[in-house]
Chains A and B, each alone.
Chain A
Amino acid sequence: MTMVQWWLRHRQKLNTFIDRALFGVIDRALRFFYVSGQAVMFASQSCGLVVKRPYRFDEIIRHMEFIGNRSILIICLTGAFTGLALSYQIYLGFKLVNATNLVGPTVALGITRELGPVLTGLIVAARAGGAMAARLGTMRVSEQIDALEVMGVDARQYLVAPRIFAAFITMPLLCAVFDFIAMMGASLLCIKVLGLDEAVFWDKIQQWIEPGDINQGMLKAAVFGLTFSAICTHRGFTAKGGAKGVGEATNEGVVNSMVLIIVANYLLTNLIRVFYTVSGIKG
């Protein structure tokens, strides 16, 4: 069989494959934007319900405990090991140019501005966001949300608004815990294992790190809290189709949240930089 014959025989299959791959990607991308847009609308409508009577303080506290308190152990673990690994890599790099006294501030900058909020966002999105989507999805398919509405209870005010508000409040606190533990891990490795001077390590951090660095990390964490809670509650609340639908809602909620957190992080970094430059804040 010549090449031409082979090509003629297989081109239809190839065309179909390319079409499917191309349109599959476009389709998925469009769905991602569509679902994210819907989640933004859903969250903006739901957030206003926090200040509507009856106030749901009990629910907010309950969800803050779930999102915050129950995430502390996993945040501490990941924070400690992130601090250890990051400081070791930076030490190895800086040692080549005899700049090991800058390991502390470099690690601190990386953690407070980027790794702290992003990793906190990703971990809590996977843990609490997944739980939110699964819980609301199960309530939707088992008619519990219908039951709430039929009882004259605004389901979004009772179920969605407290979760979004709790995530918004709790995420900066978790980010602060992550930053602290990561810096403890980094200082432990640098001072006790790698033999860097303790006074220099902390002095350089004080010299280079501004409150603005820590604040921008906390602000990012709050936005990531809004992001994952909006997407996951929206996917759970609109789930349909039994156990399969709940599984898909949870999966899509977590994956979309993670992608959006990474994308939002880059956009926020630029926005904050512009804001700091315009307002003359050092950071």
Chain B
Amino acid sequence: MSDVELNSAAIAIRNLRKSFDGKDFVLDGMNLDIPKGKITVVIGYSGTGKSVLLKHILGLIRPTSGVVEVLGKDLWSMSQDELNFFRRKLGVLFQYAALFDDMTALENACFPLREHRRDLSPEEIIEIAMHKLKISGLDEKHYHKLPAELSGGMRKRVGLARALALDPDVILYDEPTTGLDPILTEMVDNLIHETHQRHPGSTSVVVSHDLFAAFALGEHLVMLDKGKVLLAGTPEDFRNSEVPLVQKFLLKGFKKG
């Protein structure tokens, strides 16, 4: 269990278990609190359940048992319509941006607004989307390009603009720097940092195995192992940790970097 009090947690996970085949548990009795208003980085070896955890937080996977509370609401006690309405408070940057490939960059950024802000005029929607693309760092000349015509970094920027379109309270990043070169990795890390600064009070959750980014960005770190939380705390707590697996992960991660 983390050191964070329940009432200050944006996301609270209690005894979460998930098995896809009924035998092996990917998440095995996980307890975790993700604090409000901070950047939390979830790290761990491959196959420790990071992405499955993220999908539980998003309500995309139903847990075998346990509770997932986001902003004080138990996701699986809501009806589908309530869950859809609640999800407006969440923004996600997927690993490969998951842009709609038949829409231009601008149309992608407009999409959540068109769906949920029917009170806005088309001009206002475009204005907001252009602003989000601008603060995400996409050059105006790329606004009318399809995702296939954009580079990996540009796609991430469009994905971020789309995730921020509805000014979400919780922003989640799924392996945002995987497969990017060091320059782009730094750019994405800066983007996450700037986005968090620009949205005071918002909670950011970054799932990553990039240790440099984790220590540079994370105000709160969580390390997973075998479907459980191995350690949760500040970067300082991690540096001082005497848990052998944490030490090994840090040693290997920084050596690799």
Instruction: Tell me, yes or no, whether A binds B.
Output: yes
Q: Which of A102-110, A141-149, A226-234, A265-273 participates in binding chain B?
A: A141-149
In the bound complex, CA of A153 to CA of B92 (Å): 14
Within 8 Å of chain B (Cβ to Cβ): is A150?
A: yes
Within 8 Å of chain A (Cβ to Cβ): is B87?
A: yes
Within 8 Å of chain B (Cβ to Cβ): is A152?
A: yes
Within 8 Å of chain A (Cβ to Cβ): is B215?
A: no
* B94 and A143 contacting across the interface, CB-CB below 8 Å: yes
Q: Which residue of B lies closest to A158 (CB)?
A: B115
Report chain A residues within 8 Å CB of B90.
Answer: 150
Q: How far is the CB of B148 from chain A (nearest CB, A)?
A: 12
* B87 and A144 contacting across the interface, CB-CB below 8 Å: no
Q: Which residue of B lies closest to A142 (CB)?
A: B98
* A143 and B98 contacting across the interface, CB-CB below 8 Å: yes
Q: How far is the CB of A137 from chain B (nearest CB, A)?
A: 13
* B92 and A150 contacting across the interface, CB-CB below 8 Å: yes
Q: How far is the CB of A280 from chain B (nearest CB, A)?
A: 46
Report chain A residues within 8 Å CB of B118.
Answer: 54
Q: How many A-B residue pairs have CB under 8 A?
A: 52
Q: A54-B118, A154-B80 are in contact. Are A149 and B87 (CB under 8 A)?
A: yes
In the bound complex, CA of A143 to CA of B58 (Å): 13
Report chain B residues within 8 Å CB of A143.
Answer: 94-96, 98
Q: Which residue of A lies closest to B87 (CB)?
A: A152
* A151 and B111 contacting across the interface, CB-CB below 8 Å: yes
What would 17 A/B residue contacts be, using CB atoms closer than 8 Å? A54-B115, A54-B118, A143-B98, A144-B98, A144-B100, A144-B101, A146-B98, A147-B94, A147-B99, A147-B100, A147-B162, A150-B87, A150-B90, A152-B86, A152-B87, A152-B88, A152-B115
Within 8 Å of chain A (Cβ to Cβ): is B235?
A: no
In the bound complex, CA of A138 to CA of B148 (Å): 14
* B84 and A152 contacting across the interface, CB-CB below 8 Å: yes
Q: How far is the CB of A237 from chain B (nearest CB, A)?
A: 14
Contact with A along B108-141 (1 / 0, CB 8 A): 0001100110100000000000000000000000
* A142 and B96 contacting across the interface, CB-CB below 8 Å: yes
B192-251 interface with A by 8 A CB criterion: none
- By size class, the interface of chain B is 20 to 34
Within 8 Å of chain A (Cβ to Cβ): is B183?
A: no
* A152 and B116 contacting across the interface, CB-CB below 8 Å: yes
Q: How far is the CB of A241 from chain B (nearest CB, A)?
A: 14
Q: A54-B118, A142-B98, A154-B80 are in contact. Are A147 and B85 (CB under 8 A)?
A: no
* A151 and B87 contacting across the interface, CB-CB below 8 Å: yes
List residues of chain B with CB under 8 Å of any chain A CB: 55, 58, 60, 80, 84-88, 90, 92, 94-96, 98-101, 111-112, 115-116, 118, 162
Report chain B residues within 8 Å CB of A144.
Answer: 98-101
In the bound complex, CA of A149 to CA of B98 (Å): 12
Q: Which residue of A lies closest to B81 (CB)?
A: A154
In the bound complex, CA of A151 to CA of B90 (Å): 8
Q: How far is the CB of A264 from chain B (nearest CB, A)?
A: 31
Q: How far is the CB of A85 from chain B (nearest CB, A)?
A: 39
Report chain A residues within 8 Å CB of B115.
Answer: 54, 151-153
Report chain B residues within 8 Å CB of A147.
Answer: 92, 94, 98-100, 162
Q: Which residue of A lies closest to B83 (CB)?
A: A152
Report chain B residues within 8 Å CB of A149.
Answer: 58, 60, 84, 87
In the bound complex, CA of A147 to CA of B115 (Å): 13
Report chain A residues within 8 Å CB of B88.
Answer: 151-152
Q: Which residue of B lies closest to A149 (CB)?
A: B60
In the bound complex, CA of A119 to CA of B60 (Å): 40
Q: How far is the CB of A233 from chain B (nearest CB, A)?
A: 16
Report chain B residues within 8 Å CB of A142.
Answer: 96, 98, 101
Q: How far is the CB of B238 from chain A (nearest CB, A)?
A: 29
Q: Point out the residue from B58, B96, B101, B116 that lies within 8 Å of A150, measured CB to CB.
A: B58
* B112 and A151 contacting across the interface, CB-CB below 8 Å: yes
Report chain A residues within 8 Å CB of B116.
Answer: 151-152
Q: How far is the CB of A132 from chain B (nearest CB, A)?
A: 14
Report chain A residues within 8 Å CB of B98.
Answer: 142-144, 146-147
Minimum-distance CB pairs A-B, first 8: A152-B87, A143-B98, A147-B98, A152-B84, A150-B92, A151-B112, A152-B88, A143-B94
In the bound complex, CA of A153 to CA of B87 (Å): 9
Report chain A residues within 8 Å CB of B55.
Answer: 146
